Amino acid sequence: MQKDLKSMTINEVAALTAARGYKKFHAGYIFDFVHKKQVCDIADITPLPKPMRQDLIEQSYYISSLRVEKKLRDRDGTVKYLFALEDGLAIESVLISEQGRRTLCISTQVGCAMGCAFCATAKLKIQRNLTAGEIVDQLYKVEQNGPAVTNVVYMGMGEAMLNYDAVMSSVRILNDSKGRNLGARRITISTCGIIPCIKRLGDEDIQPRLAVSLNAPTGQLRGKIMPVNKKYPLRELMQAVKSYQSKTGNRVTFEYVMIKDFNETSAHAEMLGKLIKGIKCNVNLIEYNPHPGCQMRPAERKSIERFSKLLTDKGIETTVRLKKGSGIKAACGQLGAEMLINKTLPAEQQ
C-alpha cells in the first residue's frame, strides 16, 4: 500500500481521506500542502485537525523528500543536480536554459537496464524504480533553488516506460491544477522503444509528448548499439508509433545520437527519411557525448549539418542539439558518468 503522500495523485489522496473517514475537502488540503506549498512533514499540514494529522502519522503515512547532494554549473549555463535518495542511492537531473525556456531533464530509475552502448547510465545497471514522489520532487527541489521550470523531459537516468505507472502518476501530479499545474504539452516522455507502453500511452486520458530514441535507420544497425531492438524490432516499433499517432494526433519526436563512422552518412540520412516518412514528427540530431569506458566518438559538425540539411530538404523538421553541459558530464548520455568515475557504485558492481 502506498504510504508516501507525495506519490499520490489527487484521486488517490481523496480515496485515502474517504477510507479514513475524513471530509472530501481534506484531500484538497493535503494535496495543496504537499505539492504546492511543498511541506515535508504531515504535522505542517495545518488546515487538518491535529487528531487527523496524528492519525496519518500513526498509520505510517509520510512525505518523502530528496536531498540536494551536489549542484554543478557548466559555462554554458547548464546545471546538474545530484540528489540523494532516502535509501542512500543517488540520481541526477539536469536543468537547461535556452531561448527563454528552462527545461528540466528528470530521472525515472536509479541506473538503467537497457544497456545502450552510447549511454553512461547503462553501465550503472538497474538498481530500482523511482516512486512518483521522487520523480516530481526533482522539479520541486530545482525550483526551490531558482526560477520556475517551463518544460519537463523524462530523459534522465532510466527507461521511463519501464516505470510506467509511477511515471504516469507523476505526470498527473505535475499537471494537476491543484498542484504544480504544468501543461501536458510541456511534458515529454522519452523511450528507447518499449512497444506495449507506447500503446498504453496512446490510450491515456492525459497526453504528454512522446519522444523515441531511434539512433539508427535500420534494425540491423540499431541492434548493434541498442539491445532493446532484439525484443522490440524497429519495424514493429515504427508500427506502434504510427498507431499511437493515429489515436492521438500528436507529433512525435525522434532522437538520433550522431556517432562518428556509425550512423552519420548521407546514405543513413536517406534511409532515416524513408523510415519516418508519413509520420508527423520532428527529429533531434544529438551530438554524441563521450564518457569513460566507451570508445565511440561524436560525428563531426560538418557531418551533422549535412545530415540535418538532407532531412530538412525532405520536409522533415530537424533540430541539431549540440553539446550542453558536457563540461560537468550533464549532456545527453552522460548522466551517471561521474558516479562511474568516482566509483560510487554499490560494492557488488565495482
Q: How far apart are CA 252 and CA 237, in angstroms?
A: 13
Give a three-class secondary structure readout of 130-167.
CCHHHHHHHHHHHHHCCCCCCEEEECCCCCHHHHHHHH
Handedness of CA 89, 329, 158, 101 (dihedral sign): positive
Q: Which of 323, 319, 288, 289 is nearest to 305 (CA)?
A: 319
Q: Which of 108, 6, 124, 129 is nearest to 65 (CA)?
A: 6
User: Are 234 and 228 a contacting pair, CB within 8 Å?
Assistant: no
Query: Which amino acid, residue 283?
Result: V
Q: How far apart are CA 165 and CA 183, in angstroms?
A: 19
Name 290's Cβ contacts closer than 8 Å, sequence gap at least 6. Answer: 296, 297, 298
Name 50's Cβ contacts closer than 8 Å, sequence gap at least 6. Answer: none
Q: How far apart are CA 62 and CA 60, in angstroms?
A: 6
- Residue for cell digits 508500427? 239
The interaxial angle of helices 10-19 and 24-35, nearest 10 deg, is 130
Marked catalytic residue, from 12, 92, 134, 255: 92
Residue 197 is placed in which grid cell? 507502453
Start-to-end C-alpha separation, the chain: 34
Marked catalytic residue, from 134, 281, 332, 338: 332
The count of other CB atoms within 10 Å of the CB of residue 298 is: 20
Q: Is 211 left (phi over 0), alpha (psi -120 to 50) or beta?
A: beta
User: Is residue 332 annotated as a catalytic residue, yes or no?
Assistant: yes
Report the catalytic residues: 92, 332
